[in-house]
Amino acid sequence: MIGYLLFAVFFGLLLLGIHRKVIARIQRRPGPPVWQEILHAFKFSFKSTWVPVTASESLFVGIVLIAIGIWSAALFVVVTGGSILVIFGIYLLHKIVEHGFGLSSGSPYGKFGGVRSVISAASEIPLFVSVAVIALYTQSYEVSEIVRYQEVHGPLLFIVPLAAMAMYLVVLSKMPSGPFSIVESKEIVSGYKTEHFGVWRAGLEVTNGLKTYVLLFTFLALFIGSLSIGWVVVAMILLVVSLAFACALCPMLSPFDSVTVQTLFTLLMVGYAAVLWVVA
Amino acid sequence: MAAGLLLNLGGIISLVVYEALLVLSFPVFVISLGLWWMARDHEADIPFLGY
């Protein structure tokens, strides 16, 4: 398990590097090497580190530990075929963690980032509809049983494509430089991450690697089904490339527009789920 | 983490307990490793307030 945990961290960071590289190439820039995010994690961990005088020390440090811990837990839940409700509970918990990051430092930019993370909770609502639709067909919230259902009936991606699209939108909202990345928008410097530097930022990079791996793995498990580790790697790279295209071609929305678009999509999904419920 | 791995391999603790130990110890390991090999300490500074 420790080997898989480390693999998830480094491969997740590599995926984020591929994401940056593809965005750069679409925008006709050379871009950083694909392993840049891994180098970032090491670079930050070597830097001189302290706690800002205006920060709440316990929250400032504790929130980094919690962030790594919850995504480690999410990884174990998804790879052992546990409940998707736990995974999505952790996903929602991450909003509180982002908020904690922003508020702990005493920096106004961090606070703006923290507030925006609460606003962007609208991006999680399509997730509920997605889970409801999956449960409607598979009669289960366990990842292992959902995977087994797909072995018999085929991938849910083809059975309920709109539910897959809803979760794709949720994953997109978590990717950097995307249309919904309002928590890290440049007008608030680095948002909730602004004051977490050095070793704290290295911890945040580890979280980002784990989070990326878990979200993509969950998407594949829920909508494609059982895959060998080789195919998981290939499918994740393809997913990240498609997400990079979406991020490169769509401008970052303002916070208001971001919430509006996500709310409209949620309404569409609720209608879709209602139709499926009636038909089923 | 190493102790958890050995206890799990020895069949003394179950996989779930091992995973719970990892969830608790991995974040501490990451931060402790960074704080151990980071560059020299520095006095606390005020947050970034803009250019």
Residue A5 has pLDDT above 70, yes or no: yes
d(CA A99, CA A219): 25
Chain A residues in contact with B42 (beta carbon < 8 A): 48-50
Residue B50 has pLDDT above 60, yes or no: no
| pLDDT digit string, tens, across residues A89-117 | 888 888 888 888 777 777 777 777 777 77
Q: Which residue has the higher pLDDT, A181 or A42?
A: A42
d(CA A104, CA A159): 44
Residue B19 confidence class, pLDDT cut points 50, 70, 90:
confident
Kindly determine whether residue B46 and residue A53, on different chains, have CB atoms separated by under 8 Å: yes
In A, minimum Cα distance to B47 occurs at: A107
Closest residue by Cα to residue A198 from A6, A46, A38, A13 = A46
In B, minimum Cα distance to A73 occurs at: B23
B51 part of contact set with chain A, CB < 8 Å: no
Q: How large a percentage of chain A has pLDDT more than 90?
A: 23
In A, minimum Cα distance to B45 occurs at: A52
- The reported pLDDT for the residue numbered A213 is 94
DSSP H helices, B1-51, are 2-9, 15-37
As beta bridge partners, residue A83 has A142
d(CA A109, CA A232): 37
For chain A, give the mean pLDDT: 84
> What token pair was written down for A191?
């948002």
Q: How far, in Å, are A109, A117, B31 from residue B48 at the CA level?
A: 8, 20, 23
Report whether A111 contacts A195 (CB < 8 A): no
d(CA A145, CA B37): 44
- The reported pLDDT for the residue numbered A53 is 73
Residue for token digits 């979406």?
A: A246
Residue A71 confidence class, pLDDT cut points 50, 70, 90:
very high
A143 part of contact set with chain B, CB < 8 Å: no
Query: Would you call A12 helix, strand, or coil by DSSP?
Result: helix
B26 part of contact set with chain A, CB < 8 Å: yes
A194 part of contact set with chain B, CB < 8 Å: yes
Kindly determine whether residue B27 and residue A189, on different chains, have CB atoms separated by under 8 Å: no
DSSP-derived letter for residue B13 is S
A103 part of contact set with chain B, CB < 8 Å: no
CA atoms lying within 13 Å on the CB side of residue A19: 27
| pLDDT digit string, tens, across residues A182-211 | 766 666 666 666 677 778 888 889 999 999
